[in-house]
Amino acid sequence: MPEVPIRLLLIEDNPLHSRLVQQLLKADAQLHCEVEAVERLDQGLTRLSRGNVDLVLLDLVLPDSQELETLWRVRLVAPQVPVIILTGLDDVKLAARAVESGAYDYLVKSHLKGASLGRAVRYTLGRARARGGEWDSPMFRLAQQQFLKASQYMNLDDNIRQRLLFPQRAQMVSFPFFRDDRRQVETVFGYRVQHVLTMGPTKGGIRYHQEVDLGEVAALAMWMTWKCALMRLPFGGAKGGVRVDPTTLSKSELQRLTRRYTTEILDMIGPDKDIPAPDLGTDEQVMAWLMDTYSQQVGHSVPAVVTGKPVVLGGSLGRREATGRGLVYLIEASAEHLGLDLSGATAVVQGFGNVGSHAARFLAERGVRLVGVGDVSTALYRREGLSMEALQAHVDRHRMLAGYAEAEEIEHDELLELDCDILVLAALQNQVTVENAGRLGCRLLAEGANGPTMLEADEILHERGVFVLPDILGNAGGVTVSYFEWVQGMQNLTWTLEEINARLKAILLDAFQRTLSRARREHLDMRTAALIEGVERVTEAKLLRGLFP
């Protein structure tokens, strides 16, 4: 059966360049392309509107369009068709903005060779196909675009860049568990993804949520890789999840589900291979069940197989509050950099789970006035300040903020736009978008959640002078104390809470200063600077280890 050719649309106004590109593609033995070439953008858009185009090679400077507007117009007409920029503009900032806007690659004509063009086409088509189905997640697209933006600023070697775009290992399972009536069997999907195996064992949490998919877990694993590298921890990034709503499960159902999921991923995890931890929808009790199930299978107790477990089973002091505590350490450092006096400053906290509630408490202890707070049930505002003790007591009784009487109830969207000095994002992803970024009322945006800010919003915040503590730095306290727990477990040692907090603060502040110095030196936003710090370390390790065989 003959191979189906790749239908490629070349939008290029220079006839010499057009012929050269077509000759290079024709000479590539690994590609079988049918190239259709047009000279103007309006002709290209008309062709795209008819469909049946697999990939676009796009010049940015055309008779009827200039620079990024050219890309935006193509994406508007054909958002699902992958685009490779092929331009004479050798501008790293433009390249970064192009991949940020959805381009799959950015090639400069003066550097163009047949091998690089052919590989760009093959890799782009491979990524586009992989993004379909389970991989097609907004979070995974965001994580990849953030990495691609950083790689443009770094001029990262293309071999490394392509290698890091997808995880090294991913396991997807479906498995059953009994509901309490023993008549109903529920079947759910579970995942475990290991992004990079180069740095040592992989490390990452397990989340239970009704919208978990492979793309989301892969994005979280990728962010964990950069986070561990930024903190200089000896781990690669991993993540796991089960697509289930844990709030609908009894404790016995949750235990059965956890134990069955553990047996499904048993070959992937281990204290020297991959160490899970709690995440959204899981806690230290879930980690205890996971540890016990693993230990039953290997025939002896293995506390170091998980972190975030109860202290009596080898857990670490300070682990439960580590993410929120670490975020506040970094807020203190950021406030000092900005000349902001925390005593009397105002804060809004979105999310009142483990991270948000602890961050709010530690901020209140430093004299910060909490004027707004929200969770999935409601958003609350009180200009004079909210009592942390009263809020926590209400949540302890009712499990959520809804019904709290000592504050004004507002819309969730309004919460992010309240005037405040500090906005803490400790809920879910994609909260700050291009639509609301211009209306945020904060001076300092501290990300305790993963992926709460869309890439397009970053530029708006940067232009407005909002100082952003990016997620891979801001919420790194959890994995750092997880590392401490793993070390204590492997060595059968116990550290005091004072030792743990001192070590945590030292590691976080070192990462903050390195990130801030790079951002100033290279005129970057904090997120890109943090990503480059992490990616550089992973790149160095990969190059030193080499390629087998």
Catalytic residues: 239
DSSP β-ladder status, 55-58 and 83-87: parallel
Half-sphere exposure (Cβ direction) of 111: Cα atoms closer than 13 Å: 9
Q: What is the side-by-side order of every strand in the sheet holding 274-278?
A: 169-178, 185-194, 236-243, 202-209, 274-278
Q: What is the DSSP letter of 316?
A: P
Q: What is the side-by-side order of every strand in the sheet holding 467-469?
A: 408-410, 379-381, 369-374, 346-350, 422-425, 444-447, 467-469
Tokens of 398: 């009712």
Query: 11-50 burial string, b = 16+ CB within 10 Å, else e?
Result: bbeeeebbebbbebbeebeebebebebbbebebbbebbee
Torsion from C-alpha of 316, 319, 320, 325, nearest 10 degrees? 150
Closest CA to 193 of 168, 227, 160, 228: 168
Cβ atoms of residues 236 and 201 within 8 Å: yes
Amino acid identity of 93?
Answer: K
Return d(Cα 268, Cα 262) in angstroms, integer: 10
